[in-house]
Structure formats: structure tokens, C-alpha cells
Amino acid sequence: MIEYEYRMLRFPRHASRGDIRQILADEAEYGHWELARVRLYIGGHRRVWLRRKIIRVQRTA
């Protein structure tokens, strides 16, 4: 079974799409996060959930 760890980011309504895209691209490139969910609320702010796999090392000897 694959296990994931999650991280939530909140962006205010005045954040530009370009800024959000740059932040998410940096998280994906350097932190190995992938986009799990985006939620846009009535007030205009966004919540973004990122996830990445948890890799467990099995002892072999």
C-alpha cells in the first residue's frame, strides 16, 4: 500500500496566478510534491493540498 504525506498551502485572493504557479512549481521541483487537490472558496482564497510518497526502507540483512 502506498502511503502519502500531505501539506496544505493557503493563498489569499489577491495572489496572482503566476505567483501561485511559481510557488507550486518550486515545491514540485525541489520538494518532490505533487498536486493532490485545489479548492477555490467564495471569498476568492485558495487552498492547495500537495502530496508526496513516503518511502519506507526495508531491512534486507
pLDDT, one tens digit per residue, over 17-48 is: 999 999 999 999 999 999 999 999 999 999 99
pLDDT band (50, 70, 90) for residue 5: very high
For residue 14, pLDDT over 80 is answered with yes
Tell me, letter by letter, the H, E, C secondary structure of 20-56: HHHHHHHHHHHHCCEEEEEEECCCCCEEEEEEEECCC
For residue 49, pLDDT over 80 is answered with yes
Estimate to the nearest angstrom the gap between the alpha carbon of 13 and the chain centroid. 18
pLDDT computed for residue 61 by the predictor: 76
User: Cβ distance 9 to 47 under 8 Å?
Assistant: yes
How far is 53 from 44, CA to CA, in rounded Å? 30
pLDDT band (50, 70, 90) for residue 57: confident
Residue 20 makes CB contacts below 8 A (sequence gap 6+) with 11, 46, 48
pLDDT computed for residue 24 by the predictor: 96
